[in-house]
Amino acid sequence: MAKSVISLYDVRRYYMMGDFIVKALDGVSLAIEEGEFTAIMGPSGSGKSTLMNLIGCLDTPTDGIIQIDGEGTMGMSEAELAFVRNQKVGFIFQQFNLLGKINALENVMTPLLYAGGVGIRERRERAKFALERVGLADRMHHRPNELSGGQKQRVAIARALVNNPSILLADEPTGALDTTTGRQILELFEEINSEGRTVVLVTHDREIGMRCRRQIRLRDGKLEA
Amino acid sequence: MLWENIRLALKDMMASKLRTLLSLLGIVIGVASVIAILTLGESATKSITQSIVEGGLEMVTIFPNRSEKASTEFTEDFGEKLMANVKELKTVLPVNSSSATLRNGQNTTSASISGVLSTYADILDYKVASGAFFSLTDNLTSRQVVALGSTIAENLFPDGNAVGQYVSIQRNQAKSYLVVAVMESKDASFNLSFNNGIFIPYNTYAQRFIKPANVGSYVVRIADGADPLVVSDQISAYLDSLVGSDAYNLFSPASLAEMAEQITGTFSTFLSAIAAISLLVGGIGIMNIMLVSVAERTKEIGVRKAMGASPNTIRGQFITEAVVLTFTGGFIGIALGTLLSWLVTDLVDWHLHISYGSFLFAAGFSTLVGVFFGWYPAMKASKLDPIEALNYE
């Protein structure tokens, strides 16, 4: 049996909104195994983003246990959480979130900088390799504003892959792209997944969700049966 | 990591040049003024001491004050007594001075008149332009001969050829004096005026003018090779024990040089302290721009955190940026301050003395300003919540 890379046990995430408690996630338990291609689906406000932020260690739960690659994140310091994000998780955002002042290659090199102990030469080689992997070898020295939407998302995927994380977390990765480009990006995800990497994709688009092998549906902060 | 941060900071600075320049202005002005003040202070000191040294470090002048003690001790025998008690003195010359009116035909002028020994000119390195300074015999026989300072000679004998002619020196009654020498021009120093003075034999002065009970002043020449500062201290010590410190004034070029150095040093320090206030103001400007930068780049900070940048890393990035800013400001300031000093010294004809210590100080201080004023914005950046930062628009 494949091991779980992501395990959640009764995870809750509550916010205070004035005098009200918003239960963004209200007792979610799930396990995602290594090599799975999972879509987290649900209408807006259902807790998809909260769930993704928790899996990505950008946020910590109000209650419950989260394990990433077998490691509990409870009680971790900011620096330790940063380390987990750096080593275990690759983020892909709807709006790409590339750094505008540096070129594609430097963008992809950035996570390796935070990994520590990786020399500049190795950083450059690995970033080049990742950009080649997503088919952007000829755009390495362009800045984000010189790239099309699809190219930007490819750079972002290369950046997410460069540190060889266990999990690829994508939040509406095709949301800002046209249909054709979106399909190509999705195909890239499928390719990456077929190489054995766990992919978790947040989407409200049914069509995209159905292309994933597994769907997790959220409604009002709870898993739908 | 540090290099990456520096590179990033430079990129950011170049991306908004005008803003960078404006935010640096405070630091630049602060550092430039500190550098200019220190450099000019040092240059001034060097120029002043240089002119003092040229006046002759080995001379010390003693002026007795009117007091009971002084009147018993400061006599013509004092020179021998001093020589006996302080080693390393070459000679002690008594000098009596007053002022008088001089006349040659229609030309009149007032001058300070000094009765001096025949060795006076040699000892003070005071050169004769024409004729010869009066001799030992002239003094012993109290001849009415005079050596004219250069300005006096010009005033009384506009056509030159003063030597061999007579001038009338008016003091109660007019007396004629034979001009034996016209002296070269020599800068006045330490209460000894040369160009506006005339010099007659010591004994002639004593006879012709009211003989003072005491000697007006003593010019002391320190032995060659002796340390003028040490010897003049020894003279002071001896005089203190003899008559007390209130009974005389002592002028020594060496001690004056030291004093000049102290005064300009104090001045530079004081002015630098004031200039350093603008460094403080500059630092606040840096803090301001860094806070703006952190606010503007909230999203970037969020993205970096998502990619695994720890709070320490983010803090390091922004502190580095502040330091790169202030260091650049310091560098420009050093260049500007040095340029300013060069212009000023060139204008007033001082020798430019660049103080590399002040460069180091300015560079170090501006770095410190960067760390100090960059700290708070950097802390702010490092504590941003990654999700809020990512969603910031």
pLDDT in tens, B288-311: 989 998 999 999 999 999 999 999
pLDDT on residue B189: 63
Domain ranges in chain A? 4-223
Say whether A91 and B306 touch across the interface (CB within 8 A).
yes
B237 pLDDT exceeds 80?
yes
Task: Give pLDDT tens digits for B191-233.
Answer: 567 888 999 999 898 888 876 677 888 888 888 888 888 888 8
* Whole-number Cα distances in Å, B314 to A91, B235, B250, B308, B384: 18, 67, 65, 10, 10
Poorest-confidence range of A103-107, B145-149, B159-163, B179-183? B159-163
A65-94 burial code (b ≥16 CB/10 A, e <16): ebbbbeeebeeeeeeebbbbbbbbbbbbbb
Is A91 in contact with B300 (Cβ distance < 8 A)? no
Size of interface A-B (CB pairs under 8 A): 64
Q: pLDDT grade, residue B105 (50/70/90)?
A: confident
Residue B188 pLDDT: 67
Interface test with A, best of B11, B307, B379, B385 (most A CBs within 10 A): B307
pLDDT of residue B302: 95
Range with the lowest mean pLDDT among A3-17, B92-106, B189-203?
B189-203
Taking an 8 Å cut-off on Cβ atoms, the answer to whether A111 and B312 are in contact is no
Residue A1 pLDDT > 60, yes or no? Answer: no
A87 inside 8 A of chain B by CB: yes
For residue A152, the model assigns a pLDDT of 96
Spatial neighbors of B353 by CB under 8 A, at least 6 apart, are B39, B42, B43, B46
Check if A78 contacts B (Cβ < 8 Å): yes
Classify domain A4-223 at the CATH topology level: Rossmann fold (3.40.50)
Contact between B307 and A110 using a beta-carbon 8 Å cutoff: yes
Render pLDDT for B154-184 as a digit per residue (tens, 0 to 9): 999 988 888 999 999 887 778 899 999 999 9
Is there a contact between B98 and B112 (Cβ–Cβ < 8 Å)? yes
Note the pLDDT of residue B191.
Answer: 59
pLDDT of residue B67: 76
Tell me, what's the ipTM? 0.94
Residue A181: strand, helix, or coil: helix
The two three-digit tokens of residue A155, written as one number:
């750079």
Axis-axis angle for helices B311-348, B253-296 (nearest 10):
140
Chain B residues whose beta carbon lies within 8 Å of the beta carbon of residue A83: 308, 310
pLDDT > 70: percent of chain B? 97
* Contact call for residues B267 and B15 (beta carbons, < 8 A): no
Share of chain A above pLDDT 70, in %: 99
Minimal Cβ distance to A85: which of B15, B300, B308:
B308
Q: Which residues on A lie below 8 Å from B15 (Cβ)?
A: 101
User: pLDDT value at position A2?
Assistant: 66
Provide mean pLDDT across the span B315-333: 92
| Residue B1 contacts A, CB cutoff 8 Å | yes
Whether the CB of B316 is below 8 Å from some CB of chain A: the reply is no
A101 neighbourhood in chain B, CB within 8 Å: 8, 11-12, 15
Q: Which tokens go with B300? A: 């970037």
Position B70 pLDDT exceeds 80 = no
- Residue A157, class by beta-carbon neighbours within 10 Å (0-12 exposed, 13-18 middle, 19+ buried)? buried
- How many Cβ atoms are within 10 Å of B9's Cβ, its own excluded? 22
Judging contacts by C-beta atoms under 8 Å, the chain A residues touching residue B390 are 58, 93, 97
H/E element, A10: strand A4-17
**Least CA distance to A100: which residue of chain B?**
B300
Residue type, B244: G
How large a percentage of chain B has pLDDT more than 90? 30
Question: Using one digit for the tens of pLDDT, what is the confidence trace for A155-212?
Answer: 999 999 999 999 999 999 998 899 999 999 999 999 999 999 999 999 988 888 888 9
pLDDT at B358 over 80: yes
Q: Which 3-state string (H, E, C) describes B123-158?
A: HCCCCEEEECCCCHHHHHCCCCEEEECHHHHHHHCC
Mind telling me how many Å the CA of A208 is from chain B's nearest CA?
24
How far apart CA B169 and CA B148 sit, in angstroms, is 12
CA-to-CA distance for B338 and B297, rounded, in angstroms?
36
Question: Which positions in chain B touch A78 (Cβ < 8 Å)?
Answer: 310-311
Question: A113-125 pLDDT, tens per residue?
Answer: 999 888 889 999 9
* Cβ within 8 Å of A, B 328-387: 386-387
A110 to B304: CB separation less than 8 angstroms, yes or no:
yes
What average pLDDT does this structure show over A34-43? Answer: 93
User: Looking at beta carbons, which residues of chain B come within 8 Å of A162?
Assistant: none
- The answer, yes or no, to whether residue A213 has pLDDT greater than 80, is yes
